[in-house]
Amino acid sequence: MEQLMKNFFLFLSKNKFLTKMAKRYGLKFGAARFVAGEAIRQAVDVIKDLNRKGLVVTIDYLGEFVDNEREANEMADNCIDAIKAIGRERLNSQLSLKMTSMGMDISDELVLNNMRRILEAAKENGVFVTIDMEDYSRCQKTIEIFKQLKSEYDNIGTVIQAYLYRTEKDMEDLNAYSPNLRLVKGAYKESPEVAFPLKKDVDDNYKKIIKMHLLNGNYTAVATHDDSMIEYTKQIVKEHNIPKDQFEFQMLYGIRPERQLELVNEGYKMRVYVPYGTDWYGYFMRRLAERPANVAFVLKGVIGK
């Protein structure tokens, strides 16, 4: 039943008609739990509150299904506005983005131009930028562009997904760049031809890449809500005397906020992934797909109990 629900919400996440309807009707039906608002000023207020609690942030201006140059340039402009807000308000925040929203599916020239504009603004404001990883069909392209930009800028990282068979090889290849990587299990529906279908195999590979990246001496963001993975990370850093400034934990805004504060109180860096914007629908559907408890929360909000 849980897998059926997951597949159902992942299917809905790619529906362009529902995406347009969601933009029209705003943050309703529980989405506000996971999205910090539609405008940067709302996100700034959320980040300030999180910073006051000792949490650091990465902010993401949401956008999917960008298929023309005008929209891609507008998305990049919004990212630059977010960077300037981080600098102006002195927020303890980074920026995350999807390269499809910067025009990656349209042309290399467009996406690279937008990424360089963003990275220049980020360098001026002391902001680190993480390129989110998307579905398998875009994995290779994302890594290629990351390598190119990493040779030009220091303030850039990307994401590696544990559920893909190719992941260990990708990490070996990227190690030459001393990359700052966010390690995740993976949130897209992929074929068993390219991804581990069983949770146990994904978990085992996730542990493998956490250990691998830490022992390579690279900065490691362990992005998980899974207590067993958090405890595994703590165990590895203790066994190998890895300093606390070489890694951090990351969780999504609105999910396990109490656990986030516990990690802060234990002395760990805890970064919250804070999305905002009008194009929230696909992101919201993937959050519902990940945990049945999220669906229950939303239904409770809709019926008003």
Residues designated as active site: 132, 182
d(CA 209, CA 246): 15
Q: Are 288 and 295 in contact (CB under 8 A)?
A: yes
Q: How would you classify residue 176: left for phi > 0, otherwise alpha for psi between -120 and 50, otherwise beta?
A: alpha
| Helix/strand number for the chain, H first, E second | 12, 8
Q: Taking the CB of residue 219, how many other CB atoms lie within 10 A of it?
A: 17
| Residue 275 in tokens | 């999305």
Q: Measured in Å, how far apart are the chain's first and last C-alpha atoms? A: 24
| Residue 159 in tokens | 């994401």
